[in-house]
Each structure stands twice: as C-alpha cells, then as structure tokens.
Amino acid sequence: MSQPERFTSDAPPAAASAVRWSAVVLGGGDPGDPFAASHAVKVKALIPVAGQPMALHVLRALHGSGRVERIAYVGPTTPEMDALIALRVTDHGTLLGNLEAGVEALAAGVGERVLVVTADIPLLTADQVRDVLDATPADAALVYPVVRREVCEAAYPGVKRTYARLKDGTFTGGNLFMLDPALIGQFLPRLRDVLAARKAPLKLAGLIGPGILLRLLTGQLTVARLESKVAALLGVPVHALITPHAAVGTDVDKDEDLQLAEEHFSAAR
C-alpha cells in the first residue's frame, strides 16, 4: 500500500507502536435535516448503507485498523453501534461543539493523540485508517488529509466534490483529521473559523490573507504555502497529508452520494 505524500517535513512518520490513538466520531446533526428525514432516521449518520447505518461502517473501520484504542461517539446510536463505542457523548448541535465535547470526554492521557472523523464516510476501510494514522507525523498539533481530484474520480467515477485548484494539483478536503489534545486549547479559537470554511476554499483563503486568495484564484498557491499560513493562523504546527485514499474525502450528504456508496458495496460483494 502506498504511503501518503507530505509536503513540509523530512521527518519520518511516527511509528505506529509509539503512538496511542483514540477517536471522536461526529455523528450528530440537525434533527430537521431533510436528507435524514427522507430516509426516516433522526440524523444522517443513521441512514442505511448496504443495509446498515453508515456510521457503523465507520466504527468498524476504526476498530479493524488495530490502531484506535477508544472511541467517543457524538450523536444518537443503535445497539449494534453501541457495542463498538467506549463513550457516548450528547450532541451539542455544532461541529466544533461536538468536537470539543468528544475530546473532553476522552480525557486523553500523555502521549495519546485523537483522530476526529465524521460518521458520513461509510466507504472508509480499516486499511485506510491504519495507513493514514501510520503516516501522521508526531510533531504536528493538527494534521489534515487532502485527496487529489484524479484519485477521487478514478475511485468513484462521477463523484462530485468541492475542489481547490493549487499549483501542486486539484484537491478536496478529507472528512477526518488528527490532533494533539494537549495543544487543542492553543488553536481551538481560530480552528473554529478554519473548520467553518473547510469546504469553501475561497473563504478559507480569505481568512489567511489576500495574497493567498490571489494565488488560489490564479492556481499558483502550493500546498506547502497554504499549510504554513494555516499554521501561522492557528499558532501551532500544522501538516497537510496528501492521501491516496479517496474514501477519506468522500462523504454521503445527498441521495446521489448514497447511490454511489450502495453501488460500491454491491460491487464489492
């Protein structure tokens, strides 16, 4: 299995045996979400994919990776999901509120790191989780995987995602990231703004200066330059991790995505 590309550090990935991982799975949502309501469930994460809640696929991938020791799950669950969850956390209604609540519930110890993953990426596999975590550098407070457009379209023909065109290529953001909980208090206030703009490249560029915005509009912005600006914005070391796993950047938030996921599972049988 190929290892994800990195743009900013020559340091080798942290050895899997040297890092303890826990996870926060974000499965909350608006009870009035029309997508969830159209499938007769409380929240999107409970919509069936291949006959099972999409969140259950994510939980199984985390467990199967052999890297994640504990899972805090934010949002409503099913009994089958509960068997894979160490801590259930009440939905606080916002992405960052749920992130904070999940990390706080874990009360991670010294040397423990946290994987944050949304519950709407059912195509994620255990091997992919393992690969991403094993490629995560130990010296970053925040690591954010991104996926090349051609990788997404080769894996899932016809998939529609939000992309940013950079000098290094065209990318979509991942639906998981890794963080050092000991440093979260340092970057949490500004992370709120960055997370809010994570699927809006122009808005994100606007947060970090007009020069970055101009380079983005002209396709001259590099991943390394964007990464350094985000690190300066948050005040902690940040790494962009270019992963070859399209599932990391392929969430299910509309019926078209759901059909794609169903077709993928059907083909795999």
Is 34's pLDDT higher than 60?
yes
Q: Which residues contact 29 (CB under 8 A, 6 or more apart)?
A: 36, 42, 43, 44, 45, 75, 91
245 pLDDT more than 50: yes
Check residue 24 and give its pLDDT: 97
By DSSP bridging, strand 5-6 and strand 52-53 are unpaired
Q: Percentage of residues in the chain with pLDDT exceeding 90?
A: 60
Are 45 and 120 within 8 A, CB to CB? yes
Report domain extents, the chain: 19-268
pLDDT tens sequence across 52-105: 999 999 999 999 999 999 999 999 999 999 999 999 999 988 888 899 899 999
For the domain spanning 19-268, the CATH number is 3.90.550.10
Model pLDDT for residues 180-229, shown as the tens digit of each residue = 998 888 888 877 776 677 667 667 667 767 777 677 677 888 889 888 88
pTM comes to 0.87
**30: pLDDT confidence band, cut at 50, 70 and 90?**
confident
Mention every residue, 6+ apart, whose C-beta is less than 8 A from residue 28: 43, 45, 74, 75, 76, 91, 92, 93, 98
What would the pLDDT profile of 130-177 be if each residue is shown by its tens digit? Answer: 999 999 998 899 999 999 999 999 999 989 999 989 999 999 999 999
pLDDT of 3 > 70? The answer is no
Helices marked H in the chain — which ranges? 34-38, 54-64, 79-82, 95-106, 126-134, 149-155, 184-196, 201-207, 210-217, 223-234, 255-268
What Rg, from alpha-carbon coordinates, does the chain have?
18
Average pLDDT, the chain: 87
132 contacts 245 by C-beta, under 8 angstroms: yes
